[in-house]
A and B are shown apart, each in its own frame.
Chain A
Amino acid sequence: MPVITYRDALNQALREEMQRDDRVFIMGEEVGVYQGAYKVSKGLLQEFGEMRVVDTPITELGFAGVGVGAAMVGLRPIIEFMTWNFALLALDQVVNSAAKMLYMSGGQYNIPIVFRGPNGAALQLSAQHSQAWESWLAHIPGLKVVAPGTPYDAKGLLKSAVRDENPVIVLEGEMLYNTKGEVPTEEYLIPLGKAALKHEGDHCSIITHGKMILVALQAAEQLAKDGIRVDVLDLLSIRPMDVEAIATTVRKTNRAVVLEEGWEVAGIGAQVVDYIQRECFDDLDAPVIRVHQMDVPMPYAKNLERAAKPDLPKTIAAVKKVMYLEQ
């Protein structure tokens, strides 16, 4: 199976979906002539032309709305945000227009649109460029939210997102674009709303999503050296969330650590823990522990940034704590 980067996997998904359906177009800052701020749209302008690969002014609110309007009358836009930090300016269109149109029109206008771009922190980009927005977006009925952490998942989920009849948020990762993984040459889709068990063990479950899957899998390997066997569940979709998969792993291991990139308060982990207490109350052998970003804006200095982020040592410590192996 070919090994390609996360970036190329996304690029393949875009190209294949644009070849398949001429209603699909991509719009955003630097997607065309510049070939993509992170080169995800590389080569698409040359292949599909400027009507389907549209460079916009730096105007997130405006072009997000342009996408929604185009989707109302039959097109299938892919709106690229250079990062989700900038998409905050577009939230009115994502939330008030895209997510609610079908409902408030009594079922007349669905919005088949994809909003995608890198989410969360990279390295030393400090407070305004290092934020994980999934809990904001997953809060909204009418949106679907996915967060692929591997090239395989990125391609399969993005293709499903483009084909979905609803607004779908695809949260990528700046630190993921260069990561590599196996991606089949034949076409495949990954269904929205299904989690994937990425590592198997029976002592504890690590439940995570997005780029934190890489940390969770590293933790699983290290813990195995100490004889600790963990299940690693990659949620893949944050909304809808695969509650059955969460319940299945927790019923098996009776212990859980929920790992996420974002902040603690009202984070995705809080929702996962709620599902666990509802579905698995009698199965738990220990309180669930959450690993997340410290409750501070992201600092610039290397040491402070490292201290603020969830990481491998924090995840391992959490697993050991939930297993009563460490204080």
Chain B
Amino acid sequence: MPKKKSDSSVKTAPPPSGARLTEDTPAPSRKDMLREMLLIRRFEERCAEAYALGKIGGFCHLYIGQEAVGVGAISALRDDDYVIASYRDHGQALARGVPPRAIMAELFGRADGCSKGKGGSMHLFDRNVNFLGGHGIVGGHIPLATGVAFAIKYRGGDQVCLCFFGEAAVNGGAFHEALNMAALWKLPVVYLIENNRYGMGTALERASAINDIAERACSYDMPNEVVDGQDVFAVRDAVRRAAHRARAEHTPTLVEVRTYRFMGHSMSDAVSGTYRTKEELEEHMKRDPITVLRSDMEQHGEWSDQDMAALDDEIKGIVEDAWNFADASPEPALESLTEDVYANGEF
């Protein structure tokens, strides 16, 4: 079968990575952005499959529908900037350049995972690309981002910390405490709300006293912006502005990116039902970020069905390689159970 053939050829090649777009990428092409988003989409689809097969356990929160947010935002950063995310972190990790193999191995709970099989879906970490983790307590990592930005300023650096969290996190104390200090101390941080409309099954309107949540920034006299999260270039541009403000003026920004979650909150939750209708979901799926970009490219005569098929084959090969790598990776050695509880091998 042709599929088999492409598998083995992928295996002999160096491990494929998701492309890595940065601030320094001279005006990333539409194709670059499409490729990044498609990688996340196909990766997440295989995650759903792996979850159903029991290869991935625990909680698994997929990024499908929100790809333009992670790709657009992270493409606006430099290599030496920092990224920190919530538990819905596969997409940001891929966009930041954490190798797909290492992510899939982590999800499979294997020794070659980016967190050695200790973290799982919600706790992807990769020091090589300054990916400071997925974090599992809603809003709990927002103060960490403020702290990273504090350290940048303390050292006199000009990096930026980009912090992703969902709109439900803005109702918690950690968000307000973190933003207040960042504004008070003028720290180089970009807080990015991925407003996917639902905190698990509770709609924004049922959880927040104001619906334009970017306005929360006004309490801290902080610049803020609302962006269409299904338009990858719009997200990139907004985060570029915010990152520049952080670097040049040490001013934090709150960016509200309006997007939509096409899947359930996690793999164990219903896609629709009591909290949102199938009709609503279908309406939002018409603005699939990948379709939005692809249509635009087609209208400009830059893209054809053949191009899409070729790109899709390439991406599927990368994801297949990641799956095979994860499947072949050993379970963590039992001795590792007590490793890394304390630094320097103390236990």
Contacts and interface: CB of A to CB of B under 8 A. Distances in A.
B115 A106 contact: yes
Contacts of A106: 113-119, 125, 340
Given A92-B137, A106-B117, A69 B127 contact: no
Contacts, number: 146
Nearest to B173: A61
Contacts of B135: 97
B125 A109 contact: yes
Interface string B114-136: 11111100010111000011011
B165 interface: no
B325 interface: no
Interface string B325-347: 00000000000000111111010
Interface string B248-284: 0000000000000000000000000000000000000
A265 interface: no
A97 B140 contact: yes
A1 interface: no
Nearest to B344: A165
Interface string A165-183: 1100000000000000000
Contacts of A107: 116, 339-340
B342 A102 contact: yes
A52 B117 CA distance: 37
Given A65-B178, A92-B140, A105-B133, A70 B154 contact: yes
Q: Which of B118, B142, B144 has the most CB of A within 10 A?
A: B144
Contact of B341 (A25, A66, A142): A142
A313 interface: no
A51 interface: yes
Contacts of A63: 143, 177, 181
Given A70-B147, A72-B148, A102 B181 contact: no
A144 B342 CA distance: 9
B177 A62 contact: yes
Contacts of B324: none
B340 A102 contact: yes
B147 A165 contact: no
Q: Which of B115, B153, B344 has the most CB of A within 10 A?
A: B115
B180 interface: yes
Contacts of B341: 102-103, 141-142
A291 interface: no
Contact of A61 (B132, B143, B154, B339): B143
Q: Which of A68, A70, A97 has the most CB of B within 10 A?
A: A70
Classify chain A's interface size.
35 or more
B227 interface: no
Nearest to B156: A51
Contacts of B149: 69
Interface in A57-115: 57, 59, 61-75, 77, 92-93, 96-97, 101-110, 112
A25 B150 CA distance: 11
Contact of B154 (A51, A92, A96, A102): A51
Contacts of A166: 342-343, 346
A93 B133 contact: no
Nearest to A165: B343
Classify chain B's interface size.
35 or more
B127 A70 contact: no
B323 interface: no
Contact of A65 (B126, B152, B154, B174): B174
A69 B107 CA distance: 25
Given A25-B154, A92-B137, A96-B137, A105 B147 contact: no
Q: Which of A52, A97, A166 has the most CB of B within 10 A?
A: A97
Interface in A23-41: 25
B151 A70 contact: yes
Interface in B166-185: 173-174, 177-178, 180-181, 184
A103 to B, nearest CB: 5
B103 to A, nearest CB: 12
A103 B155 CA distance: 27
Contacts of A70: 147-148, 150-151, 154
Contact of B180 (A62, A75, A101, A105): A62
A166 B136 CA distance: 21
Contact of A93 (B113, B140, B151, B153): B140
A93 B174 CA distance: 10
- Top 10 closest A-B pairs, CB basis? A69-B147, A65-B143, A62-B177, A106-B116, A165-B343, A69-B144, A105-B125, A106-B115, A66-B147, A107-B340
Given A69-B144, A96-B136, 7 more contacts: A65-B143, A66-B178, A92-B174, A97-B140, A105-B127, A105-B133, A106-B119
27 contacts: A25-B154, A62-B174, A63-B143, A63-B177, A63-B181, A65-B146, A65-B174, A65-B178, A69-B143, A69-B149, A70-B151, A75-B150, A75-B154, A96-B140, A97-B140, A103-B341, A105-B123, A105-B125, A106-B114, A106-B116, A106-B119, A107-B339, A108-B115, A110-B343, A142-B341, A166-B342, A166-B346
